[in-house]
Structure 1
Amino acid sequence: MAYYFYLDKILLPIAPAKLELKINNKNKTVDLINYGEVNISKKAGLSDINFDARIPHNKYPFATYKEEFKNAKYFLDEIEKLKNGKPFQFIVSRTSPRGTILFHTNIKATIEEYSVIEDAEDASDITVSIKLKQHRDYATKKIVVSKNDNNSQKPSGSVDNKRPESNNKPKGKTYKVKRGDSLWSICKTQLGDGSKSKYEKVYQLNKELMDSYNKKYGTTKYKYTIYPGQVLQLE
């Protein structure tokens, strides 16, 4: 099975051999006088994600890069930026040996901590042990206080429960590729325009995804090749 690991827009050159995704719960057990012990179910807590990523100093034929070879320092610098930055998307794409799309992990997360391990017996490559924590968007309630018209000292108010839109929602229009589809037919039926300029634009929106699959299956001579199960950004 083939794996592709993304930290925000960073594609790890060698997919980790193991991934631990711990789904935490917030249930609470209490004793009731007449019923005994009961379990109060609550919404699941934030998930923990742990894995070890091997970052090579040298270019290996089995390593995958988005465009060209990047050394270990590049990846360490990018991971450090994520540690000090805002929440990002953690994505794992899985395909079977025959190229069938299996399922994806797509979670907004933050880096809680990471450690760098160097071992001289490991071809001088480094291993980065990373711990992520799932992130959920939230907002505080806003209370607007106004004075009553009858000169009463008691204030009146309203509560604004509006929450910001989650960045986990897809931006723009998307389409899941089915068997028999082509980039031209998708643009024609979904966007009303099958011209080359239109499907070239769609290719540019999905260049990273499409190039990685074409490289894997040896179809790089025709970059517009698509595969069933791929989710393409159309706008």
Structure 2
Amino acid sequence: MSQYHFYLKKCLLPVAPSQLKLTINNNNSTYILIDEGQINVLKKAKLTDIEFECMIPQVRYPFAVYSGGFQKASYFLNYFEKLKTSRKPFQFIVSRTLPSGKVLFSTNIKVSMESYSITDESKNGFDLMVKIKLKQYRSYSTKICKIKVQQNTATATKQVERAPSSTDNTPGLPMSYKAQSGDCLWNLAKKYYGDGSKYTLIAKANNMSDPNVLYVGDALTIPKES
């Protein structure tokens, strides 16, 4: 007979849930083209939803498993609350093993605690039923723009003025541009080329050794796309 083990971060649930529901959400879009009928545009899948209900016993049962010794229900409820309020993702692991200890399969996914609800019914004695909802977590990052501001006299006020608006458009490239507070090459490339990753074009045209450093008032050449 095989056994299931459910882990929320490092916490092993004493009684494995009888059912686990994973909803793999789709993000595809369907369109109707004239004379072509429907088409399906495939996109990256949405985050997976995970749901299960588990029993948290108040007394020790022979079928319950405790990795660090018996703990009352309050221990697990406090643990669930910390996962919810920490605002940090954690690993959700489900493993199925044989009595010999051999692992048949496992699920290991980074998730966030979305919600949990507690049911206390007389038919369960002092034990609690907890329904838990998790959501898959994907890490992400944002582009950081750095800028160094010159601490000059009143002449700096004139330096931050933009070039005339008549030259501030894509069809007029190449053009000259004076850097303002808050500017970075990524944002300038996004404005003039529609793609921030093309900041290297500006860096190369201006012989910049460090494209992350831009001074207010720097005169830049915005080149045409090759």
Corresponding residue number in structure 1 for 2:137:
135
Say whether 1:124 aligns with 2:148.
no
Per-residue CA distance 1:152-175 (angstroms, 9 max, x = gap): 3255714579xxxxxxxxxxxxxx
Tell me which structure has the larger Cα radius of gyration: 2
CA distance in 2, matches of 1:8, 1:111: 11
Equivalent position amino acid for 2:92 in 1: F
What secondary structure sits across from 1:81 in the alignment? helix
Q: 1:142 to 1:42 in 2, by over 3 A?
A: same
Instruction: Say if 1:145 and 1:157, in contact at 8 Å, map to a contact too.
Output: no
- In structure 1, the partner of 2:176 is 152
* Residue 135 of structure 1, CA deviation: 0.5
Kindly, what percent of the aligned residue pairs are identical? 49
Q: Which residue of 1 aligns with 2:60?
A: 59
Equivalences, count? 158
Alpha-carbon distance change, 97 to 33 in structure 1, aligned in 2, over 3 angstroms: farther
- 5+ long unaligned stretches in structure 1: 162-235
What is the aligned-residue RMSD (CA, Å)?
2.4
* Partner amino acid, structure 2, of 1:112: E
Note the alpha carbon deviations across 1:82-116, whole angstroms, 9 max, x for none: 01111110000112456442111111111111100
Amino acid paired to 1:135: Y
For structure 2, the 5+ residue unaligned runs are 149-159, 161-174, 187-195, 199-226
* Cα distance in 2 between the residues matched to 1:145 and 1:99: 57
1:6 matched residue in structure 2:
7
TM superposition score normalised by structure 1: 0.62
Q: Distance in 2 between matches of 1:17 and 1:53?
A: 8
Tell me how far apart the structure 1 counterparts of residues 5 and 19 of structure 2 sit (CA, whole Å): 12
Which structure 2 residues correspond to residues 31-180 of structure 1 after superposition, within 5 A?
31-85=32-86, 86-96=88-98, 99-144=101-146, 152-155=176-179, 157-158=185-186
SS at match of 1:45: coil
Cα separation, partners in 2 of 1:114 and 1:96, compared to 1, 3 Å? same
Partner secondary structure for residue 83 of structure 2 = helix
Alignment TM-score, normalising by the size of structure 2: 0.64
Residue identity in the other structure for 1:127: M
